[in-house]
């Protein structure tokens, strides 16, 4: 496909991906979390919704009650009730005992967690939903932060670092594939506002091959974007003994298909074609064409057999450009250029090579 077709396909799939979460990111599955670390225990700063179901209530229901710093809630007609560090079902029992039978004889009491005092933690790296995560009081550990950030991505190494905002020199690293280290992460001192969790990702690379001077993977640091020209430069540039003029970008698309994009290297170097941003896993291949194969054959079979006067330290293209190497000074009316390159196509210099040779 052409570059324009690829850009249109990329936009189409990006819009499809954006439309999927447009309905709102899924809420954290607290029930699954509670199965791992146990039911939530309320504490200072949490707000409880207490619903009274009965006849002839002397006050309106439901009642919103905030747990104060001493762990108490204030409800109508009763003294402060201590509820800190208790599960919701235990809070219901305590509130029921405070009202029945002394104040209310026929009533059912239901307690829900209305809101909680959250700790904001920054989660970055190889997670599904990077950014700030709000942890409940009993969830302030590295594992819960990673879980509430949507879990790790496919390129995660399994290692995660905890960096403390108020204690810059303190850093903890855990292997989340090791149950012992997971236990250690959970038992660590609770996370505080502003702490950061970094989930490490595997090295990202694009793969450049074909008619370049140093084919192979080109590593990209986290957060760094690389474009076509940068990838070519990082792979040593295009070969200068021939004139490559086209490349192929191969990318695995979100829908599972592979897109193959033809790149005009002449237009790319002249800024007449988009300098596409590359993604991890992309393959950039600069293949042989009929022209480059002829040039390569000429370099290896004609110029190296031109006679003892040939300087073997120069390339065939350079030899064509240096008449003194061709014996022109010995009465020759022309040279190998006239004999083997009458149209001059072997002497065309790519703009990319000019950029490479004259940075």
pLDDT at res. 18 = 56
Instruction: Select the more confidently predicted residue: 22 or 208.
Output: 208
Residue 162 CB neighbour total at 10 angstroms: 21
pLDDT above 70 coverage of the chain, percent: 76
**pLDDT tens, residue by residue, 121-159:** 999 988 888 999 888 877 888 888 898 898 888 778 888
Lowest mean pLDDT among 46-55, 73-82, 181-190, 340-349: 340-349
pLDDT at res. 23 = 44
| Mean pLDDT comparison of 219-228, 253-262, 312-321, highest-scoring range | 253-262
Calpha distance 114→46 (Å, rounded): 8
Q: Is the pLDDT of residue 13 over 60?
A: yes
Per-residue pLDDT band at 115 (split at 50, 70, 90):
confident
Could you tell me the residue ranges of all domains in the chain? Answer: 3-10+204-290, 39-115, 118-201, 291-357
CATH homologous superfamily for 118-201? Outer membrane lipoprotein wza domain like (3.10.560.10)
**pLDDT tens, residue by residue, 56-65:** 888 999 999 9
Report the candidate in 51, 55, 73, 74 with the shortest Cα–Cα distance to residue 63. 51
Q: Is the pLDDT of residue 72 over 90?
A: yes
Per the structure block, which two tokens stand in for 222? 């986290």
Q: Is the pLDDT of residue 284 over 60?
A: yes
CATH topology for 3-10+204-290 is Outer membrane lipoprotein wza fold like (3.10.560)
What does the buried/exposed string (b/e) look like for 53-66 if buried means 16 or more CB atoms within 10 Å of the residue's CB?
Answer: eeeeeeeeeebebe
Cis peptide before 60 (omega within 30 of 0): no
pLDDT above 90 coverage of the chain, percent: 21
CATH homologous superfamily for 39-115? wza like domain (3.30.1950.10)
Please tell me if the domain spanning 3-10+204-290 has the same topology as the one spanning 118-201.
yes
Q: Is the pLDDT of residue 80 over 90?
A: yes
Calpha distance 149→166 (Å, rounded): 22
Residues in the chain: 359
Lowest mean pLDDT among 35-39, 120-124, 266-270, 312-316: 312-316
């Amino acid at each position: 496909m052409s570059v324009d077709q690829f850009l249109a396909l990329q936009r189409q799939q990006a819009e499809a991906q954006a439309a999927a979460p447009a309905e709102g990111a899924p809420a954290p599955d607290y029930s699954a979390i509670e199965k791992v670390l146990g039911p939530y225990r309320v504490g200072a700063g949490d707000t409880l919704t207490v619903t009274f179901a009965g006849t002839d209530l002397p006050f309106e229901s439901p009642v919103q009650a905030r747990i104060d710093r001493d762990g108490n809630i204030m409800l109508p007609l009763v003294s402060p009730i201590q509820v800190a560090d208790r599960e919701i079902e235990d809070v219901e029992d305590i509130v029921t005992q405070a009202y029945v039978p002394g104040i209310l004889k026929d009533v059912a009491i239901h307690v829900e967690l209305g809101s909680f005092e959250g700790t904001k933690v920054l989660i970055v790296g190889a997670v599904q939903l990077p950014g700030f995560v709000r942890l409940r009081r009993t969830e302030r550990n590295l594992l819960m932060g990673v879980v509430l950030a949507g879990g790790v991505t496919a390129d995660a190494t399994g290692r995660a670092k905890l960096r403390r905002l108020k204690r810059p020199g303190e850093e903890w690293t855990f292997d989340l594939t090791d149950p012992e280290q997971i236990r250690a992460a959970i038992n660590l001192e609770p996370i505080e506002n502003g702490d950061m969790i970094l989930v490490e990702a595997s090295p990202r690379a694009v793969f450049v091959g074909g008619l370049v001077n140093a084919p192979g993977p080109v590593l990209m640091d986290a957060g760094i974007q690389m474009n076509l020209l940068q990838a070519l430069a990082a792979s040593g540039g295009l070969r200068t003994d021939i004139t490559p003029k086209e490349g192929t970008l191969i990318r695995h698309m979100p829908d599972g298909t592979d897109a193959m994009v033809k790149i005009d290297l002449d237009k790319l170097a002249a800024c007449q074609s988009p300098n596409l941003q590359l993604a991890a896993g992309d393959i950039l291949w600069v293949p042989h064409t009929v022209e480059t194969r002829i040039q390569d054959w000429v370099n290896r079979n004609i110029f190296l057999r031109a006679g003892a006067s040939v300087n073997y330290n120069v390339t065939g293209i350079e030899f064509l450009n240096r008449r003194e190497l061709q014996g022109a000074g010995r009465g020759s009316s022309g040279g190998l250029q006239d004999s083997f390159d009458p149209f001059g196509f072997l002497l065309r210099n790519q703009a990319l090579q000019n950029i490479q040779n004259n940075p």
